[in-house]
Amino acid sequence: MKKITRTNKIYVSVIMIILLVMGVALEAWAYKRISSRKNSVNVDVVPVQLAPSQQVKFDVRMSTHSVELSQDMVAVSLLKDSNGQEYRPENWKGSPAGGHHRSGTLEFPAIKGNPGSVTLIIENIANVPERVFTWKVKE
């Protein structure tokens, strides 16, 4: 039997880390970015983590040159799934309220069951009552 050296253990560890990072990156690329361009404000959203039994995360980017982006992103966001469940965000990790450009990650609790799709609703940005973004959940 061949002896496993310390160098081989390091190589295996590095390969495992690379595969893990690639898996996370592939999950993020699995979903399409959806844009809402209304009342001079662009809102672009893409899921970065969207799978049953895992915290749900969306990358959100907003840009304008005409209004202040002063919304509390946790207060104005809601996630609904095709099974009828609703989820409130747990956290916004990103730019603070104010300014013309904001970006960050909107985090929700894990979705329950195996819904076919989810819909993110962001309310009251630049007098647009609702901006609606929908994706099919990939298994």
Coil, strand or helix: which one is 24?
helix
Contacts of 100 (CB under 8 A, 6+ apart): 63, 64, 65, 66, 67, 68, 69
Domain total of the chain: 2
Determine the Cα–Cα distance for residues 56 and 137; give it in Å rounded to an integer: 11
Determine the Cα–Cα distance for residues 122 and 125; give it in Å rounded to an integer: 8
DSSP state of 32: -
Total-model pTM? 0.78
Residues 15 and 4 in one domain: yes
Residues 4 and 44 in one domain: no
**pLDDT digits 0-9 by tens, 97-119:** 988 999 999 999 999 999 999 99
**pLDDT digits 0-9 by tens, 69-86:** 999 999 999 999 999 999
Domain of 65, in residue numbers: 33-136
Residues 89 and 45 in one domain: yes
Residues 38 and 1 in one domain: no
Domain of 83, CATH number, reads 2.60.40.1240
User: Token pair of 134, please?
Assistant: 């929908």
